Structure 1
Amino acid sequence: MSAIAKMYHLALTTAFAHLGLFLYLDGNTADGTNSEVPKQSYVSAASIILGNIFTLSLTGSVTIVFTQYLWYILRTTTLKVSTIESMFAMQANPLLLRDLNAWQKAPILVVLVVLVWLMNVAASFAPGALIVGPTTRYSRQVVEVPTFDSSFVGNGSGVDANKFSLDKFDINDYDTFFPVSTAGSYSQPLQRLAASTMTAGKQSTMQSPCGANCSYTLNLEGPYLQCDSPNIQYGVLNTTSLSWSDNFQSTGQNVTFETHDDGIDLLVWNAYQGFLFDPWVGGSKEARATASQMHIIAPSQFSIQTIRPLGMRNPAVRESKSNSFGNLVAIEGNYINCSAATATYTVSYVYENNILSTNISVSSIDIIKNLGTTKEMSNVTQEYGISWPGFLVTTANKTEDWLLGLGSSYLGYEPANWTSDWISWYKNLQIMAVMNSMTRLLNGTYPVELIQFGDATSSLSPAYGLGVDIWGTEVSWVDFLNAFPTSSMYADLWKSTLIGYTPFNDNFGNFNVTAYSWVNDPTENLKYDGVSFTVTPESLNRLLQNITLNMISEIGWWSTLANVTQWESINTFQFSKPLNLILPYFISLFLAIPILVLGIWSLRQNGVSAMNNSFVQILNTTTGSKALERAAATGCLGGYNNVLDELMDLKIRFGELKDVGQGDERSSNGVKRAGFGTEQEIRPLVKGENYGF
């Protein structure tokens, strides 16, 4: 009985040990220099060993119960030798479970064998509860990352402030009160970066400052165009009088006819116009005075006009020296007016395997109204400039000498006295420089000609307000320079804007300035080779944001500390399928409890502990029966081939042999003989009797 309990206790302890091992290993690195647990190969071996110990101990306990209960059956039931043979051998040969006689005579015993086999199978699932798989491990630390800091002035000196400024400074002439002004000489790296960003149409890659997989968020002040809602208008141009319908704003269109070398006149349009208002560069005195009164000392207004053709009544072409013009052209115009502003960028950087993705949100938009401070003095011409102590160093003894041209001035090397006003002025100057790097390249006009592909067969939408006449809607812009490659005036205009090579051109991916020659007939392909512009406040600011972010990575003057989240994929032990261990182990342990009770009960009924697979027990229990000895003698060499059916069909039972030992001294002393015999030779064992020969 103690053996049954001990082996069950060992199985129970092993099950909890196996569970504890997997719980301990869960989440730990499987292999590598940072692993704090044994290698994967050792863990696998330990898991298999624990599984085997559990199986052996629990099935061993059940096997002991099987033996006790088997001998209880042998004592109480007369069975054929063949049935007894099946009962003894079915633990090793599961095919014997098909013996119906065994199921009929001892169903509980057969169920015990089935459970032993099932326990062996069930326990094999336990090691699979722990797997090794990739896990993302996160860590957080503070890392220095690139940013944009418009208030960065180096060491605070005039030299450093100019060095790290995106709009360089000029030392003014001696006839001005303000010793320093902006030169308008924008940073060449910034201009090149803006041009490349605009033509690429996207943010460039930036090397990760925090590893292959990481993320962080930046808050910075950047440029922003605060734009009015787009003003969309529809109108008709009379090509005879070159006049627009009253409902159409034609400012700046300057629609003209240009004569080609072959005598053909073409109507020239401006499909795009960008207007950059800069009162301080080439502006009139009135504009400068207005800007001074408004405290606007920067290019602060940017306007865009785009038009696209809707349809034609006749081709807008005439023969040279002829008065036969096309009649009407329907046009859609889009007008956007924007003001310079600052905004707070919240930029989320995410690197996945060194591939960058960003997300930008904008808040706290503030229009720039006071970029600098002007000051009026009697007899001094008001100029654009700024003055603060320590920014310049002069060799003149006093201000009057410096104004008279006595001595010279240069940017100082010592930190200047930066006040909040001067820092604000400097910050906005950098913001405007970034903004102007884009708007200067979008400033100008883009001349095109209009081509019609088919006859007038369609009606335009009533929403256009153009009537119900039939129009030729198969129309498209064609780059003007292809028709007039020698026109220097329009070549200069075309060169003044980069708009055609930016994503603002709807045919950006198919744009080909050499796709059309005037001597060729118009084809449908011109729709894709020509230009068509769509500009919105959102697309303008998206491009401006891309320039700002590219500037962070390319120029690299500024840095800040950021809270960085890093992650890496490592192989870890994962207790991912706990039921693979818990269910087989603890269901087996639970089912074993009534089995153990059965074993203890059988042991008490037998009075003697039976031995499993014991040769000695076979010798002790199979002698004494003449009938059994006679039937078994024919198979004395062993092997099923030598066993006669007479023996296999012989019904026997374990009990007290009636006639054995008569006349023996031990028999006369009350000692009796127990063993297997036929029903005629056997009577039931009596508890308490003395059996021994």
Structure 2
Amino acid sequence: MLKIRAKGLSSNPVMHHNSQSSLSFINAGTSGPPRKESALITSTWGIGWQTPTAMIACYALALVLAVVHLILFRYIDGKEADGPNRIAPQAYISTASNILANAFGFSLRASLAIAFVQRLWLLLRAQTMKVSTIEALFSIRSNPLMLFKPAAIAATPLLCILALVMWITQFVTGFPPGAITVVSVQKSTFGTVNIPSFNASYMGNGSGVDAEAFSLTTLTPVQGLTPDQSGFQASGFSENKNTNLINLLARQILVAGESFSMPSPCGVNCSYTMSFEGPYMNCNSSSDVLYYDDATGIFNIYTGQWFSPLAVNPNPTRFYNGTYTQAFFNATTINPIQVNGSLLDGNGNSSALVQQGSIVCAPGRANFTVTNNYENNVWSRNVSSEPIDTLINLAVPTHDHVVIVPGFGAASGTGPGTTPANWSLYALDYYRDTNIMTIHGSLSSWLNGSFQGFFADGENFPVIGPSVIGDPYGSYLPLWNEQIVTTTEGQAVSIAAQNGTVIESTRFNTAFGHFSLSESSHPSFNITQDLINEYLFNMTTSMMLAYSLWDTTANATKLTRVNVYSFSQPLSLVLPYFITLFVTMPFVVMGCLALFKNGVSAMDGSFMQIIATSTGSATLDRAAAGGCLGGDESMPQELKDLEIKFGEFIGRDEPGRIKRAGFGLESEVKELERGDKYGIARWI
């Protein structure tokens, strides 16, 4: 308890009494602490839970935000960005992405800021630094220019690197939102569409009227003695109804070399697959080399023969006609190989070597599977075929080739009936194969004919090179010099012949026009099974549009352009986020270690912390008095150059073993001793 000695007091009792009272009042205010007040004001050792929790939680939150951002972009990848089925408006996705990126940067910098402060105060305890250097370290996170201050870099390069990383993270977080883009893609939808088709077996309700309407050739009703003996007769397979529409169509397809373009039934970009049973040729090919000792004659360069199923067959043993059709197509072609000697001396000194190719085809049927693709209204298709069998024998072994179908004719009078007829299995097969045979006959009618020519004379034309086979004496390149087209009746016609002749310049042959002296100038023919079946297929698909007798449904895949979110640049999100987390993790660990080593948590930007730690040194107090107004401009140089550190003041022990800690000169402080009491005695 403090004792106060009073001097110069008055001897007047009253005055003395008043003085005593006054002293008593003074003593009452200064003689000791109130009962509820502690006599000591001391700091408490301990890191608490808030600082480490905040430092670790902010880092963990940044990690969670990076994962959430990645999951968000993975989720919306491929989802529609516009239209009624959009996953979310583009403005919402853009805003959410920016919020996640900014929240990531804020959380990570908050964690690094706490770690920075812990490490800074550990350095303030460990080494003496100028006040200006300490000021630079405190300002380095808000003023990037301090990063280039040599004193700060020399004092603590690690903290400068940490501050630099914190500044860089503000730019790094600008990349992840750009990892998602909006692109236009084709979306597949599925639906059923009506498409033209070909169905050789289709006959409506099965009545004579419908069977005739859907037949490619004329079916003439034949009335028997009884209704059960009625039926029909099929017309020829190259002279058909509808003013020979099918024959005209066959010529058009042969000249064009391709089928009619199939319009899209499902939009600009779509595809569908269709199947149908159509005509197909089964062919056998052979090739021989023939030698002619006289090359001055006229040669049949091409000969094509079509034998109708109802015609007299000159070679009945070629195909078995008890079950299968007697019809067949036969073609022979000749291509010159070598000509020797003179063609004009008339002495028979010329000879020729030619390549003769032969093909024999029987009409049949096959299953076709066609995938039609439309891309920006440009049509393409893929075709596959599977042969089924040769057509049946259509030469009916009955009187006048009548196919018996009870009920085909009208119940009374003439003409076909309108009620379903009684079709047998054979009659159904006959009806189907009749339609298919009609297409075969239309094609073959334009390949039926011959082409003739003779060799050019070597004396009239210059020698242009060795022969194909090779001749030690040299030879003339064989060329066809003249052409004559004839019909099967033998009547000579012009090159531009009509029905029943070979047509100029098709997929099967070169042009018949003017020749030049080159190896490829002479007319050539190429009759193969693949070309014939390609032509039959083009013919059949063109009929689907030309006749419009058959239709069906198909499952179409429609492709429409939609805007979708595309996680097209995942590295723009993954690299900035997770490399930043990887780089900053050691600094967070460093901050945690500094916190535990300090034993007391340091507060970032705390005014009270600055007051509590900078009021113990009289030297520092005097140097700081010159800049008491604040502001960098008013700070005296003496204060800036003053070297201080944070520690325990030497010789400043307070009563009750209380020690004082704060910033002071190196001669004024020493290292803190963990566990000691630091503060001030209030009343002792």
Shorter-chain TM-score: which interval?
0.7 to 0.9
Contact 1:311–1:475 (CA under 8 A) maintained in structure 2: no
1:249-398 to 2 correspondence within 5 Å?
255=298, 269-278=299-308, 280=310, 283-284=311-312, 294-295=321-322, 300-313=327-340, 316=343, 327-371=350-394, 373-375=396-398, 382-393=399-410, 395=412
Aligned residue for 2:404, secondary structure, equals: coil
1:424 to 420, 429, 436: 429
Matched, 1:454 2:454: no
CA drift of 1:336 comes to 1.1
1:309–1:477: 8 Å Cα contact kept in structure 2? Answer: no
Give 1:471-620 correspondences, 5 Å limit.
471-473=475-477, 475-476=479-480, 478-480=482-484, 489-491=492-494, 494-495=497-498, 496-506=500-510, 511=511, 513=513, 516=514, 523-524=516-517, 527-528=520-521, 531-589=523-581, 595-606=587-598, 608-614=600-606, 617-618=609-610
Report the Cα offset of residue 304 of structure 1: 0.9
| Alpha-carbon distance change, 353 to 123 in structure 1, aligned in 2, over 3 angstroms | same
> Per-residue CA shift, 1:652-681, capped at 9, x if unaligned?
113455699x9xxxx779887654332234
Calculate percent identity across the aligned residue pairs. 35
CA distance in structure 2 between the partners assigned to 1:120 and 1:456 by the alignment: 81
Give 1:421 shift: 1.3
Q: Is the 8 A contact 1:295 1:373 kept in 2?
A: no
Corresponding residue for 1:161? 211
> 1: distance between equivalents of 2:518 and 2:647?
108
Q: By how many angstroms is 1:455 displaced?
A: 3.0
Q: Report the more deviating stretch, 614-623 or 48-57.
A: 614-623
**Structure 1 residues 676 and 297, CA gap change in structure 2 (3 angstroms):** closer
8 A Cα contact 1:146 1:560, kept in partner: yes
CA contact (8 A) 1:389 1:416 kept: yes
CA deviation after TM superposition for structure 1 residue 473, in Å: 0.9
Matched residues in 2 for 1:194 and 1:279: separation? 19
Once the two structures are TM-superposed, the CA of residue 168 in structure 1 deviates from its matched residue by: 1.8
Q: Which runs of 5+ in 1 are unaligned?
A: 243-254, 256-268, 376-381, 396-407, 482-486, 517-521
* Structure with greater Cα Rg: 2
Distance 1:533 1:329 in 2: 19
Q: Mean Cα displacement is larger for which, 52-61 or 580-589?
A: 580-589
Query: In 2, distance between residues paired with 1:637 and 1:688?
Result: 33
Three-state SS of the structure 1 residue aligned to 2:492 is helix
| SS of residue in 2 equivalent to 1:4 | helix
Shift of 1:692: 9.6
The aligned residue for residue 233 of structure 2 is 181
| Maintained 8 Å contact 1:239/1:329 | yes
Asked if 2 retains the 8 angstrom alpha-carbon contact of 1:456 and 1:471, the reply is no
Summarize the Cα distance change of 1:5–1:329 in structure 2 as closer, same or farther, 3 Å threshold: closer
Alpha-carbon distance between aligned partners in 1 of 2:301 and 2:678, rounded to the nearest angstrom: 122
- RMSD of aligned residue pairs (Cα, Å): 3.9
The answer to whether the aligner puts 1:192 opposite 2:196 as a matched pair is no
Amino acid at match of 1:85: E
Distance 1:163 1:655, change over 3 A: same
How far does residue 167 in structure 1 lie from its aligned partner after superposition? 1.4
Q: Which amino acid aligns with 1:310?
A: I
Residues 650-689 of structure 1 correspond to what in structure 2 (within 5 A)? 650-656=642-648, 674-685=661-672, 687-689=676-678
Q: CA deviation at 1:275?
A: 0.5
The equivalent of 1:50 in structure 2 is: 100
Greater alpha carbon shift after TM alignment, 667-676 vs 96-105: 667-676
Q: Distance in 2 between matches of 1:343 and 1:46?
A: 60
1:649–1:169 Cα change, 3 Å: same
Paired residues of 2:507 and 2:531 also in contact (CA < 8 A): no
Q: In 1, distance between residues paired with 2:257 and 2:437?
A: 21
Are 1:228 and 2:228 matched, yes or no? no
**In 2, are the aligned partners of 1:459 and 1:468 still within 8 Å (CA)?**
no
1:477–1:531 contact (8 Å) kept in structure 2: no
Contact 1:653 1:678 in 2 (8 A): yes
User: Once the 2 structures are TM-superposed, how far is the Cα of residue 683 of structure 1 from its aligned partner?
Assistant: 4.0
* 1:32 match: 83
Q: Give the Å deviation of 1:157.
A: 1.4
Residue type matched to 2:425 in 1? S
What CA deviation, in whole Å up to 9, does each residue of 1:390-446 have, x standing for no partner? 111254xxxxxxxxxxxx521112221122211100110111111122111111123
**Contact 2:196–2:552 (8 Å) recurs in 1:** yes
- For residue 303 of structure 1, give the secondary structure of its aligned residue in structure 2: strand
| C-alpha deviation, 1:209, in angstroms | 2.5
Contact 2:649 2:669 (8 Å CA) reproduced: yes
Q: Which is further off, 594-603 or 299-308?
A: 594-603
1:270 is displaced (CA, Å) by 3.5
Shift of 1:150: 0.9
> 1:15-164 counterparts in 2 under 5 A?
15-35=66-86, 37-94=87-144, 96-98=146-148, 101-164=151-214
Alignment CA distance shift 1:235-1:643 (3 Å): farther
1:249 equivalent in structure 2 = none
1:413 matched residue in structure 2: 418
**TM-score, normalization: structure 1?**
0.77
Give ranges in structure 2 of 5+ residues lacking alignment.
Answer: 1-50
State how far apart, in whole Å, the 2-side matches of 1:604 and 1:692 are: 28
Q: Is the 8 A contact 1:230 1:334 kept in 2?
A: yes
- 1:636 Cα deviation after fit: 7.1
Q: Deviations over 1:338-383 (max 9, x none)?
A: 11111222323333333232222222441224236423xxxxxx32
Instruction: Report deviation, 1:163.
Output: 1.2
User: 1:197–1:546: 8 Å Cα contact kept in structure 2?
Assistant: yes
Q: Distance in 1 between matches of 2:317 and 2:221?
A: 24
Deviation for aligned residue 1:535? 1.7
- Per-residue CA deviation, residues 460-494 of structure 1 (Å, 9 max, x unaligned), is 527xxxx876421152455558xxxxx98222894
- CA shift, 1:7, in A, is 2.9
Pairs aligned (count): 615
Q: CA 1:438/1:673 → structure 2, altered by over 3 Å: closer, same or farther?
A: same
Tell whether the 8 Å contact from 1:672 to 1:691 is kept in structure 2 after alignment: yes
1:247 match: none
Tell me what 2:30 maps to. Answer: none
Per the TM alignment, residue 524 of structure 1 is displaced from its structure 2 partner at its CA by: 3.4
Q: Deviations over 1:582-611 (max 9, x none)?
A: 454345446655544543454455455433
Q: Secondary structure at 1:206's aligned position in 2?
A: coil
| CA deviation profile, 1:286-340 (whole Å, cap 9, x unmatched) | 769999992479671101122223344466569xxxx688844443222111111
**TM-score by structure 2 length?**
0.78
Residue 213 (structure 1) aligned to one of 258, 261, 269: 269
Q: Single out whichever of 347-356 and 680-689 deviates more from structure 2.
A: 680-689
> Is the 1:460–1:470 Cα contact (8 Å) retained in structure 2?
no
Aligned residue number for residue 27 of structure 2: none
Shift of residue 388, structure 1, vs aligned partner = 0.8
Deviations 1:499-540 (CA, angstroms, capped at 9, x unpaired): 32312124xxxx473xx4xxxxx7437955x53222222221
Question: Whole-Å Cα distance in 2 between the matches of residues 545 and 533 of structure 1?
Answer: 20
CA contact (8 A) 2:644 2:666 kept: yes
Tell me the distance in 1 between the aligned counterparts of 2:571 and 2:256. Answer: 55
Moved more, 286-295 or 95-104: 286-295
Verify the 8 A CA contact 1:372 1:386 in the aligned structure 2. Answer: no
Distance 1:150 1:433 in 2: 10
Question: Aligned to 2:294, which of 229, 238, 241?
Answer: 238
